[in-house]
């Protein structure tokens, strides 16, 4: 019977065809051993694919893993997290400061306030410093030149927001007739310059300057808007920090074109161009202008003191000749696209980048892999690996299997696997603390969290060590404040809040909360009751939720909990400040700028200081930290701020998690000693735990070497 035969034969034939293909597939051994090329490749796996290979446009970690290899910035951070030059051979930070001649106020020792007289007064003070306090002497020493900027008159047109309707803007004509200004050129940035100078010019010299007198608007505007315009066009004093980068000569892009100051300026312009919608705009917003002095010198002038801005020059530098208007126009024409709407975002460059970093882009197959070749003309000498391969493997267990099979070179160990894999003699392992921490945040606007003692008591009632032990499988460390634990800014002298339920009860009793006959804490007949929430889908936070609830119940606090879907959690609860307490985490950069998360001006809707923390000294320190360019001084401010925040406990700081990575044991650092002999060295992590720091010197050997212990 034909039908029967077909029905039985078809699946059999199909199965045979499928199964026999096994015979043609290379085994893992053949791939790893029979392939000498494999030793010259470094293969890395990632959960997600890169989105856009352009350093100024990308915002995801997979893309930056590739752009970091293909592009190079002016500077980056060394083993100790200090800045070191890359494309920039050196750089110099100085400052230009300005202030308006204030004729409205008396200056001690001057009959008549004229610009010339002020300059002479400062010059005279510089010549006989001994009369003044030490801090003023330092400030005067720092001044290189004092000069006059003559009075000016100008007309500008400004778009401002209509105060009655946030959506509308209004066009305003402004006539400015500014008085003369004094310009001071300083060797180093001095945020206290004007504070100290007021010892000479009089206490109210700077703050009594009324810019509104020199500014006329048509039509007239409200006071708030007028003040904003005065701040913009006629600030009494102005700090303009300047960074001058000296570029390394003879650095080339992968296409042979040399890198010069115009590329740096182009990169800045591209970031600021509204059409490119770069997610990095905010880091460059304080820049006033970027000037090309000569092909190897570029000067960046800032509008105001903003020390974290230096770090932004780690941004990869784009090749101007491939992305400028002419090049984009040519590309748009070739593709037949609309010239008007074609921007860098649409350019094919983003899928085929050309930079000046240690690796040259070769191929990208979406959701499968990205291939990079080494750049033989890399200025620091080419990397030892010939190829860098980025594989997209979305499943962690699959990644692990591929690692064991030798088809990827490293694997990020999950917390529950650390015990098993960390000391496995087949691999080398590295671990360190992450950037970022988990916390329980209290809405200090609400009762009872307004009382510091209550917040401290809540922190004391939770045994964080137990959370680390049981929830994180010991892959976490206590943290006491908002700075990354591996940086100098973190204050190591602050002790974590101890687990002390008795002490907590004592503190709560001081605050007026006492246990009633049923064991609940009460004050004026009201139970201590609140709701702790977190987002759904994060098992660790869910576990913390349960542990915190249980710990607090034990000392008589009536805690309810709720899990909310992420988007609703953020939009409806966090952004609208509608919560009592929440479990959440921050991931951070190395910069100590805490303005958005801790400054009291950031406590409104949709802002990040959603717990409502407000402390005058802290506000002051946060501003000072943003403006301080001296590292030692910065560390001092940070330690003090850390102390204040730890003492106030608006968060219960829980932990920072530890990561562990394992690497093929055959990967080592290859170096040359003085006689140009090859020497192999074990890969050692830097002080901050970064084991890939020397990646360009890595190489894989056929056999795992023995190192003397």
Partner 1 sequence: MISFIGRSIVQKIITLFFVSIVSFLIIHLAPGEPSQVDPMNPKFTREMVERFREEFHLDKPLYRQYLYFYRDLFSGKTISWKDNQPAFKKIWERFLNSLPLFIVGTILTWTISFPVGIRSAIFRGGIYDRSATFFSYLLISIPGFFFAYILIMFVVNQFHVPVIGMETFGIGETSGFNRIMDRIWHLLLPSLLGATAGIAVLSRFVRSQMLEVEGQDYVRTAKAKGLAPDQVHYKHALRNALLPFVTMFGLILPGLIGGSVIIESIFAWPGMGRMAYEAILARDYPIILTLNFVSAVLVLIGTFISDLLYMVVDPRIRL
Please report whether residue 398 would count as binding partner 1 according to CB under 8 A. Answer: yes
Please report whether residue 10 would count as binding partner 1 according to CB under 8 A. Answer: yes
Q: Which CB atom, from 113 or from 638, has the smaller least distance to partner 1?
A: 638
Q: Which of 135, 294, 367, 620 binds partner 1 (CB under 8 A)?
A: 367
Span 528-567, contacts to partner 1 by CB under 8 A: 565-567
Q: Which stretch binds partner 1 (CB under 8 A): 115-123, 391-399, 457-465, 632-640?
A: 391-399
Q: Which CB atom, from 281 or from 563, has the smaller least distance to partner 1?
A: 281
Q: Which CB atom, from 6 or from 326, has the smaller least distance to partner 1?
A: 6
d(CA 384, CA 343): 37
Please report whether residue 608 would count as binding partner 1 according to CB under 8 A. Answer: yes
Residue 451 tokens, joined: 């009382």
Q: Is the peptide bond before 219 cis (omega within 30 degrees of 0)?
A: yes
Nearest to 588 by CA among 462, 671, 487: 487
Instruction: Name residue, tokens 């945040």.
Output: 441
| CA 304 to each of CA 100, 221, 291: distance values in angstroms, whole numbers, following the listed order | 16, 26, 17
Please report whether residue 394 would count as binding partner 1 according to CB under 8 A. Answer: yes
547 neighbors 467 (Cβ within 8 angstroms) = yes
Q: Minimum CB separation from partner 1 for residue 702, in Å? A: 18
Residue 150 dihedral angles phi and psi, to the nearest 5°: -70, 165
Q: Which of 392, 577, 623, 644 binds partner 1 (CB under 8 A)?
A: 392
Q: Which stretch binds partner 1 (CB under 8 A): 186-194, 342-350, 480-488, 554-562?
A: 342-350
Please report whether residue 16 would count as binding partner 1 according to CB under 8 A. Answer: no
How far does CA 153 lie from the centroid of its chain? Answer: 41
Q: Is the peptide bond before 160 cis (omega within 30 degrees of 0)?
A: no
Q: Minimum CB separation from partner 1 for residue 9, in Å? A: 10
Q: Which CB atom, from 133 or from 398, has the smaller least distance to partner 1?
A: 398
d(CA 172, CA 159): 6
Cβ atoms < 10 Å from Cβ of 624: 20
d(CA 176, CA 180): 12
Q: Which stretch binds partner 1 (CB under 8 A): 282-290, 322-330, 411-419, 463-471?
A: 282-290
Integer-rounded Cα Rg, in Å, for the chain is: 31
Q: Minimum CB separation from partner 1 for residue 571, in Å? A: 6
d(CA 676, CA 674): 5
Q: 243: helix, coil or strand?
A: strand
Q: Which stretch binds partner 1 (CB under 8 A): 19-27, 219-227, 417-425, 446-454?
A: 19-27
- Side-chain half-sphere exposure of 502, counting CA atoms within 13 A: 0
- Strands 581-586 and 529-535, bridge-based pairing: parallel
Span 305-324, contacts to partner 1 by CB under 8 A: none
Size of the site for partner 1 (CB under 8 A): 70
- Strands 83-85 and 521-523, bridge-based pairing: unpaired
Instruction: Name residue, tokens 């917390």.
Output: 415
Q: Which stretch binds partner 1 (CB under 8 A): 48-56, 172-180, 219-227, 495-503?
A: 48-56
For residue 231, what are the contacts with CB-CB under 8 A and spacing of at least 6? 211
Q: Which of 67, 142, 350, 428 binds partner 1 (CB under 8 A)?
A: 350
Please report whether residue 335 would count as binding partner 1 according to CB under 8 A. Answer: no
Please report whether residue 280 would count as binding partner 1 according to CB under 8 A. Answer: yes
Q: Minimum CB separation from partner 1 for residue 38, in Å? A: 8
Can you give the binding site for partner 1, defined by CB under 8 A?
Answer: 1, 3-4, 7-8, 10-11, 14, 17-29, 31, 35, 38, 43, 48, 51-52, 59, 274, 277, 279-283, 285, 345-346, 350-351, 365-369, 391-395, 397-398, 401-402, 405, 407, 565-568, 570-572, 574-575, 596-597, 606, 608
């Amino acid at each position: 019977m034909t039908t029967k035969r077909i029905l039985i034969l078809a699946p059999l034939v199909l199965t045979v065809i499928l199964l026999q293909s096994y015979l043609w597939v290379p085994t893992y051994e053949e791939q790893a051993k029979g392939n000498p090329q494999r030793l010259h490749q470094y293969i890395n796996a990632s959960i997600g694919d890169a989105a856009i290979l352009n350093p100024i446009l990308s915002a995801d970690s997979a893309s930056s893993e590739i752009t970091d290899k293909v592009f190079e910035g002016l500077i980056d951070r060394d083993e100790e997290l200090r800045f070191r030059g890359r494309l920039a051979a050196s750089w110099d930070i100085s400052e230009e400061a300005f202030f308006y001649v204030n004729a409205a106020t008396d200056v001690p020792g001057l009959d008549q306030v004229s610009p010339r007289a002020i300059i002479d007064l400062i010059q005279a003070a510089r010549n006989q410093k001994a009369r003044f306090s030490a801090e003023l002497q330092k400030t005067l020493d720092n001044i290189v030149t004092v000069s006059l900027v003559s009075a000016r008159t100008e007309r500008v047109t400004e778009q401002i927001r209509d105060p009655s309707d946030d959506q509308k803007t209004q066009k305003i004509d402004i006539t400015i007739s500014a008085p003369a200004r004094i310009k001071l050129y300083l060797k180093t940035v001095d945020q206290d310059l004007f504070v100290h100078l007021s010892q000479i010019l009089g206490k109210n010299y700077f703050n009594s300057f009324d810019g509104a007198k020199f500014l006329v608007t048509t039509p007239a505007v409200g006071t708030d808007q007028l003040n904003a315009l005065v701040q913009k066009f006629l600030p009494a004093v102005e700090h303009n920090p300047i960074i001058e980068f000296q570029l390394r000569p003879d650095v080339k892009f992968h296409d042979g074109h040399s890198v010069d100051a115009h590329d740096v300026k182009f990169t800045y312009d591209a970031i600021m161009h509204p059409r490119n919608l770069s997610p990095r705009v905010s880091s460059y917003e304080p820049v006033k202008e970027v000037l090309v002095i000569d092909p190897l010198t570029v000067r960046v002038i800032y509008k105001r003191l903003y020390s974290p801005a230096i770090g932004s020059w780690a941004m990869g530098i784009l090749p101007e000749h491939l992305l400028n208007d002419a090049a984009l126009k040519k590309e748009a024409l070739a593709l037949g696209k609309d010239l008007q709407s074609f921007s860098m975002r649409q350019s094919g460059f983003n899928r085929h980048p050309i930079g000046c970093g240690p690796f040259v882009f070769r191929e990208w197959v979406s959701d499968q892999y990205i291939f990079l070749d080494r750049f033989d003309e890399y200025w620091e000498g080419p990397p030892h690996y010939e190829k860098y391969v980025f594989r997209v493997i979305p499943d962690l267990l699959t990644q692990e299997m591929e690692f064991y099979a030798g088809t990827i070179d490293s694997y990020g160990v999950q917390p529950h696997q650390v015990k098993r894999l960390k000391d496995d003699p087949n691999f080398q392992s590295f671990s360190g603390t992450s950037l970022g921490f988990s916390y329980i945040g209290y809405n200090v606007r609400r009762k009872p969290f307004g009382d510091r003692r209550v917040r401290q008591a809540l922190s004391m009632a939770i045994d964080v060590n137990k959370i680390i032990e049981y929830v994180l499988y010991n892959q976490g460390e206590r943290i006491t404040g908002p700075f990354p634990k591996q940086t100098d800014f973190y204050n190591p002298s602050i002790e974590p809040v101890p687990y002390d339920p008795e002490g907590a009860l004592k503190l709560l009793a001081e605050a007026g909360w006492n246990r009633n006959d049923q064991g609940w804490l009460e004050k004026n007949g009201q139970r201590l009751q609140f709701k702790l929430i977190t987002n759904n889908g994060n098992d660790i936070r869910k576990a913390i939720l349960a542990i915190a609830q249980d710990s607090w119940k034990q000392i008589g606090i009536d805690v309810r909990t709720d899990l909310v879907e992420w988007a609703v959690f953020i939009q409806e609860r966090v952004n609208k400040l509608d919560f009592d307490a929440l479990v959440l985490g921050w991931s951070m950069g190395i910069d100590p700028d805490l303005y958005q998360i801790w400054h009291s001006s950031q406590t409104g809707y949709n802002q990040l200081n959603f717990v409502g923390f407000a402390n005058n000294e802290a506000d002051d320190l946060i501003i000072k930290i943003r403006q301080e360019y001296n590292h030692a001084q910065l560390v001092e401010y940070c330690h003090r701020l850390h102390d204040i925040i730890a003492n106030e406990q608006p968060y219960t700081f829980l932990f920072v998690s530890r990561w562990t990575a394992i690497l093929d044991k055959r990967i080592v650092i290859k170096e040359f000693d003085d006689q140009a002999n090859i020497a192999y060295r074990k890969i050692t992590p830097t002080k901050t735990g970064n084991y890939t720091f020397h990646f360009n010197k890595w190489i894989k050997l056929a056999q795992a070497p023995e190192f003397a212990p």
